[in-house]
Amino acid sequence: MKHIYAFEDLKEYEKYKDIIQHFSTRLGEYQDVLEKDYLLLDQPKGIVWTSAEAATTVFSDIPIPAFTSKNTIYITPDTANWRRLFVQQLDGKDLPHIERFYEELSENHILQILGHELTHHSDLFLDDFDDEREDGIWFEEGMCEYLSRKFLLTEKEFSEITAVEEELVDVFSGEYGNRSIDQFGSGSYTSSLSSIMFDYWRSYLYVKHLVEVRFQHDILAVFEAYHQWDQEGRICSLSEYFELDYS
């Protein structure tokens, strides 16, 4: 997997080179886990390290500066920018404890975002990532969040981000909670940031529930059920197949 540096000048690259090296080392360790246990057979062609501005205006028009396109991951290592973005998703709601959490977000959380993008390349997922996907998108997104958080965050960080996103789902349910999780991304990236992230928060929490409660921490058993849904012809939505009693 090649590492490409797309910064406007050498000074900007120098600013981030140490954290990029740290992230690259940790990502390699996580990649080993995915290859050993989660059917990562073909890694991405490369990672393009760039600024938040370039990620969201030059390489794409997606408002989130981490994404995969044509088998290449694009991401900014700019922790300060990520902190501002996560505060922005609160839409100005009076949540000082969550705002403070995001303002102090650790570099591990940025590494985890990179891990999320790598996890998409696991062959345990049914649909090719770049294909037009309609069924069960929430499962892939939620599992990418769950696995990358489980292996790249500390236990404390994992518990904290889970509690934060549980609260955010409660806070924003009045605005976005009437849509089914099977409609993940229906508003795509034309919606507000909080609307986009609401689907990610729920997807992660649903997968965490499946893994830790329904399947008693057996991640591969969850994947087996997911594959069984596909083998049986996807005769109902994935959330119905898992008998999730919430939208």
- Taken in order of first residue, the domains within the chain and their CATH numbers are 2-241 (1.10.390)
Contact between 161 and 133 under an 8 Å Cβ cutoff? The reply is: no
pLDDT-wise least confident of 68-72, 119-123, 135-139: 135-139
- Split at pLDDT 50, 70, 90, the class of 134 is low
Contact between 203 and 145 under an 8 Å Cβ cutoff? The reply is: yes
Cβ-based neighbours of 68, under 8 Å, separated by 6 or more? 44, 74, 117, 120, 121, 129, 130
Say if residue 246's pLDDT is above 90.
no
Per-residue pLDDT of 155-181, as tens digits, reads 999 999 999 999 999 999 999 887 888
- Split at pLDDT 50, 70, 90, the class of 247 is very low
Cβ-based neighbours of 237, under 8 Å, separated by 6 or more? 135, 136, 180, 182
Q: Residue 235 CB: number of other CB atoms within 10 A?
A: 8
